[in-house]
Chains A and B, each alone.
Chain A
Amino acid sequence: MIPLNYSREGKGYRFSIDEDLSENFNESVEETEIDEDIRKAFEEENVTLDEEAEIVEIEEGVWEIDDDESERYRIEKDEEDDELKVYGYQSYEYYIENWEDVGARNLVASVLADWRAYDTMGEAIVLITAILGFYIILKGGEDDEDVYGD
């Protein structure tokens, strides 16, 4: 994924939308279509939005762009700076927001043994392979004394 610029709030802050667009942002959103201006603003930050990407106003003053399954952007007004800011959703935020789904009160265990259990199984298989190799090479025993001796 794209490297992050974390804001102090830890929301995955990406960039701000300039004033002209910010003021007319409400009008530039028609249903779920993404306006040319918004596309241009994203392209200036080297983010090319998908042709079929959709923008949805999830609550007043908060929009969400679904690019494809892996990339989502949240556009929200910052109260302090009074400008629209674009945040990217990242996997850690997903984990932190949805840890209650798993039911274990341990985020590390939830990541290791639930969302990333496949990864942990891979680690276990790496270990079993290592031990298999170790065992084959150093097995020893009566029948192969000549390997270690003369």
Chain B
Amino acid sequence: MMRMSTVTRTTIRMVSPFLVAYGAYLIVYGHLSPGGGFQGGVILALSVILMMIAQGYQDLKTTFREKLVKGIESGAALGILLLAFSSLLFGTFFFNYLRGGTPGELFSGGIIAPFNVLIGFKIGASFTLVFYVLIRRMDLD
């Protein structure tokens, strides 16, 4: 499969790690600052997709295996459901049983942070999977 020019490839290779860091920051600090699972997850997916567009799908296919992406997506979705059902032990469905902590600190807000992390993984993997499915059509042609 075709690759993009050297300039694009070098730039994207440099920018991608920062995109991953930014996406992770948005997810982990989702309960303190603007952001959250959805936004951060999309940026995570974007960093992978950009790499794939620039470097060529064939080269990166072995690094980001489709099975792994599928596994992350399903695992995160199951994790969300588990988190939701684990609240049943403490009261109602999706009750935030770890509420409290000092507002403004990283460890506060109870299950909001783990929920955001799971959502982030799920969204990121979902969009990457969409890209996989779409780009595989190119293999067929």
Interface of A is mostly: helix
A78 to B126, CA, bound (A): 53
Q: Is A104 a contact of B36 with CB atoms below 8 Å? A: no
> B45-75 interface mask toward A, CB cutoff 8 Å, 1 = contact, 0 = none?
0000000000000000000000000000100
Q: Does A94 contact B (CB under 8 A)?
A: no
Interface residues on A, range: 20 to 34
Q: Is A131 a contact of B73 with CB atoms below 8 Å? A: yes
> B98-112 interface mask toward A, CB cutoff 8 Å, 1 = contact, 0 = none?
011111100011111
Q: Is B133 a contact of A124 with CB atoms below 8 Å? A: no
Most buried by B among A105, A108, A124: A124
A2 to B78, CA, bound (A): 37
Q: Does A8 contact B (CB under 8 A)?
A: no
> A89-107 interface mask toward B, CB cutoff 8 Å, 1 = contact, 0 = none?
0000000000011111110
Q: Is B109 a contact of A109 with CB atoms below 8 Å? A: yes
Q: Does A140 contact B (CB under 8 A)?
A: yes
A94 → chain B closest CB, angstroms: 15
Q: Is A103 a contact of B119 with CB atoms below 8 Å? A: no
Q: Is A138 a contact of B112 with CB atoms below 8 Å? A: no
Q: Is B36 a contact of A100 with CB atoms below 8 Å? A: no
Residue pairs across A and B with Cβ atoms less than 8 A apart, 25 shown, are A102-B110, A102-B112, A103-B100, A103-B102, A103-B108, A103-B109, A106-B34, A109-B36, A109-B112, A110-B112, A113-B111, A114-B96, A114-B112, A117-B96, A120-B37, A121-B80, A124-B77, A124-B122, A124-B123, A131-B129, A134-B130, A134-B133, A135-B129, A140-B139, A148-B140
